[in-house]
Amino acid sequence: MTTQDTSRPLEVACPQCRKKVLWSAANPYRPFCSKRCRLLDLGAWADESHRIAGEPAMDETDLDALLARADQDGEPS
Annotated binding site for Zn(2+): 14, 17, 33, 37
State the nearest-atom distance from the C-beta of 15 to Zn ion, in Å: 8
State the nearest-atom distance from the C-beta of 8 to Zn ion, in Å: 22
Told to check if 38 binds Zn ion by CB under 5 A, we report no
Cα–Cα distance list, 10 to 7, 43, 47 (Å): 9, 26, 31
Told to check if 17 binds Zn ion by CB under 5 A, we report yes
**What are the respective helix, strand and coil percentages of the chain, to the nearest 5?**
50, 10, 40
- As a whole number of Å, the end-to-end CA separation of the chain is 82
- Piece of the chain touching Zn ion by CB under 5 A; list 1-9, 22-30, 34-42, 65-73: 34-42
Interacting residue with Zn ion among 2, 5, 9, 16 (CB under 5 A): 16
* Tally of CB atoms within 10 A around 30: 16
Told to check if 33 binds Zn ion by CB under 5 A, we report yes
